Structures are given as structure tokens and as C-alpha cells.
Amino acid sequence: NSVARFYKIIAVVSTILVLLMAVDFRKVLCRYTSPDGSDRSCGEFFCLPVFACAGLMWMASAKDLISIFVALELVTITFYVMVAFMRRNVGSLEAGVKYLILGALSTGFLVYGIAWIYGALGTTDIDLFTNALVEGEFANAYLMFGLALILIALGFKIGAAPMQFWIPDVYQGAPTPITAYLSVASKAAGFLVLMTVIEPFLAADATSGSVTLVLLAMAGATLVYGNLAAISQSNFKRLLAYSSIAHAGFLLIGVATGDFTSVSFYLATYLLMTFSAFYVLALVRAEEESDEIDAFDGLGRRNPTLAFALTISMAAMAGVPLTAGFWGKFFIFESAITSHVSWWLISIAFISVAAGFYYYLKVVKAMYWNTAQKEDAINVPMITRLVMVTLTVLILILGVYPKPILQLLGQ
């Protein structure tokens, strides 16, 4: 269907973008992979995103809990390796071990939840869930317990409260291209599975009320935590990590209201603005050997192209009008208001948008108002420059004319 095709496009595009970014980041990868820093030591890295892409594409078409589990684990196990790939870097190894342990724990919750749902409904075929739920032939307590376990597992995958605690450390320690891939592909995979599994429960009268309430509570907690934590960050990677948590809160509102088109549109725009930001970060990281916001001081003078691309990306993440990020948030708010979501959650979402302006513009201030520690220009390879210009142009075009993405989603 159109949704499956859309998420396969997201998988392929994000994989291509991360492979191109890894080419520019190769020297850093190799420096922390082999004792001699030889380029030959990190060639296997470029195979790993392809395996993850295969799992993502399989997941997009899966309609059975067992198939979803196998596809999700193919993606997750590949990410375990990629996060810890810079094995001579303590931060990367620490992030990989932490991600492995907590990821294995979330997998246990997922398998146990699938077992409880199978025991309650007698099937793992999601297409048969609707009939079973409508007919009412199930043990409600067992079913809801199984669903709660699955929500805990998927909450880990998407970085939603209260399962978000792994994100800042893992994002900071992972190689920059993999942090971008985690932020986009892993989150898209988690939300795709969440929407696939949760749709029958939102449609059934017996379960819709309690499921919606839980999702909205998770959304509110995720928004509050992500934005409050992001305000005080001085490390750009950690800022983007907490920002990713905040974005998950907005997306959960769309899931709770059943507006999966808005969620998918938001994820598409999130891909563009996140990869644009991480492309700039990868180049600055390779030049300055730092992820701190201070490393961006004076970037507007050292390389105006990079500074402009990052400015547009930050504006889109904040939801500034005439950027793709504005429409992503607009559709989520529209869905929340038309679905009569509680006023307290809508208020939290509005305050979250305002908070986002503060910490995103902190990066813009560093680029244009702070004095650079170095005055030499940052060279950008031609292919990377082309990719960044393309991402920036798409963010601006979709900010004026979002219809192409909606058409891909069959709307």
C-alpha cells in the first residue's frame, strides 16, 4: 500500500544519506577503528546500513507480530554494531554496550508482550486483530497487559518517556553518521511498528479509550522531559538527542489521535532537517574534533553555506513558517484540536514549541554572533555540498508546498 511504499522510500533515502555522510566522516571512523588509521580498516562499515535498510523495508510490509519482531531485530542488531564501531573510542564503546543491554531488555518486553497478546487473541496476524476485538472474544486483562509490554518495548525504540534515558549517551557516543541514522531510521521504524500494532486497538470500543489515554500521557511526559533537558545543553549532539525526544512527543499525539498521515508527514520532514543538521555537524566534527556548540562559533564567516543550511534546519525543527517543519507541527496540532484532545496536552505542546525556539536559536547565535576560534575556511566536498543544498531546498519547498509528500501517502 501507499504507506508501506512511503516508509520504504524513507528507509532507502536515509540509508543513502548516511552512506554519503560516512564517506566524509571516514577519516574519523578509521582513526578510532585501527591502530594505524588506515582506510582499509573501516570498509565493512559501509555494509552495515544496507542490512539495516533491508530490515526497515521488510518491516514496512510486515503484518504479523512475528515478522515485525524479526525485521525489528535485524535493524536493532545492526545498530548495536554501528554504534560501537569506533572500538578505540571509549565513548563509542560505552554507548554500544549501553544500547546493547537496554535494547536486549526492550526485546524481552516485546517478545513477552507478543506472547500475552497471542494468548489473549489466539493469533499474531494483525489483520485478524480487528475481528477478534470487535467480537469481544478475548480476556481483556491479559490483552492489555500484553499491549502494555509492547508499548514499553516500542517506547524504547522511539525514545518516548519513560523509556528515553538511553538516548543522550548513545547519541553522543555513536559515530555522527550513525547518530543521524538512529535519529531518523530507528525512530521511523519504531513509529511504523507502533502505528501498525496500535491501529486495531484504537478502532475497537473496548480498548480505544484506555490506549488513547496512555499514549497521550506518554506524549505529554515526553514533550516536557525532552524540551526541559534540551534547554541547558552545551553539546550539539546531546541537544539533538533531547530534541529527538521532544519530536517523539509530537509524533505520539498524532498516533493517539489516529492521524497516521500527519505522523508520516512529520517523519518525512524530520528526515530532511535532521540529516541537514548532522551533515553540518559531521563536517565541523571532522574539522574541530568537537561536538560542542562552541565549535560552531563564527561558522557564518568561515563557511556561509554550512551556516545557512544549519540555520534552515534549526528553523524547521523549531517549526518556523515557510519551512517543512512548520507543516509537520501544524498537522499534528490540527489533529489534536479536531480530535478534542485535552487542553492541558495542547498547552504543553505549545509551550514545547516556544522552548524549542530558545535552544535551536542558541546554535544560530553561535554561528553568527560569536567570535570564531579559527578563521580558516571549512572545505566542503562537492557531493556533500550538493546533498546539503538539496536538503535545504526541499525543506523550503515543502514549507510552501507540502502536497508532494501528502500525495505519496495517498492523500
The C-alpha cell that represents 342 in the structure block: 485535552
Rg (CA), the chain: 21
- Largest pairwise CA distance in the chain: 71
Q: What is the mean pLDDT of residues 34-51?
A: 76
Work out the angle at residue 162's Cα, subtended by the Cα atoms of residues 224 and 206, and round it to the nearest 5 degrees.
Answer: 100
Looking at this protein, which amino acid is placed at residue 168?
P
Q: Which residue type does 123 have?
A: T
**In this structure, which long-range contacts are made by residues 346-354, counting pairs with CB atoms below 8 Å and at least 24 apart in sequence?**
348/220, 348/223, 348/224, 349/223, 349/249, 349/250, 349/253, 351/227, 352/223, 352/224, 352/226, 352/227, 352/246, 352/249, 352/250, 353/318, 353/319, 353/329
Task: List beta partners, residue 235.
Answer: 292
Amino acid code (one letter) for 238: R
Contact 157, 69 (CB under 8 A): no
Which of 79-88, 289-298, 366-375 is the least confident region? 366-375
Q: Which of 132-136, 164-168, 242-246, 282-286 has the highest mean pLDDT?
A: 242-246
For the ranges 14-28, 39-53, 58-72, 351-365, the lowest mean pLDDT is seen at 39-53
Does residue 311 have a pLDDT over 90? yes
- Compute the mean pLDDT over every residue in the chain, rounded to the nearest whole number: 90
Q: What is the dihedral of CA 298, 299, 301, 306, to 10 degrees?
A: -170
Between 36 and 9, where is the model more confident? 9
DSSP tag of 64: B
For residue 268, the one-letter residue type is A
Q: What is the pLDDT of residue 141?
A: 83
Higher pLDDT, 320 or 41: 320
Q: Are 337 and 346 in contact (CB under 8 A)?
A: yes
**CA-to-CA distance for 116 and 114, rounded, in angstroms?**
6
Reported as a pLDDT band with limits 50, 70 and 90, residue 32 is confident
Taking residues 98-121, report their average pLDDT. Answer: 93
Q: State the average pLDDT over residues 238-260.
A: 95
* pLDDT higher than 60, residue 378: yes
170-215 confidence digits (pLDDT tens): 999 998 899 999 999 989 999 999 999 999 889 888 788 899 999 9
Averaged pLDDT for residues 85-100: 88
pLDDT band at 39 (very low <50, low <70, confident <90, very high): low
Please say if the pLDDT value at position 234 is more than 80: yes
Rounded to whole angstroms, the Cα distance separating 259 from 98 reads 34
Q: H helices within 232-342, ranges in order?
A: 236-256, 260-288, 299-302, 304-318, 324-338
**135: Cα separation from own chain's centroid:** 36
CA distance 335 to 328: 11
HEC string of 93-125?
HHHHHHHHHHHHHHHHHHHHHHHHHHHHHCCCE
For the chain, first and last CA: distance in Å?
Answer: 12
User: What is d(CA 45, CA 22) in angstroms, rounded to the nearest whole number?
Assistant: 9
Facing residues of 251 across strands?
none
Please state the rounded mean pLDDT for residues 79-101: 90
Distance CA 183, CA 287 (A): 23
pLDDT at residue 375, rounded to an integer: 74
Grid cell of 168 as nine digits: 543522550
* pLDDT tens sequence across 142-153: 888 999 999 999
410: left (phi over 0), alpha (psi -120 to 50) or beta: left
Q: Give me the pLDDT at residue 233, please.
A: 92
Cα distances (angstroms) measured from residue 242 to each of 126, 332, 368 = 32, 19, 23
State the pLDDT at residue 410.
Answer: 77
Per-residue confidence (pLDDT) for residue 40, from 0 to 100: 62
Confidence of residue 41 (pLDDT cuts 50, 70, 90): low
Give dist(CA 148, CA 275) in Å, integer.
Answer: 32
**Which run of H or E residues covers position 228?**
helix 205-231
Pull the grid cell for residue 401.
508546498
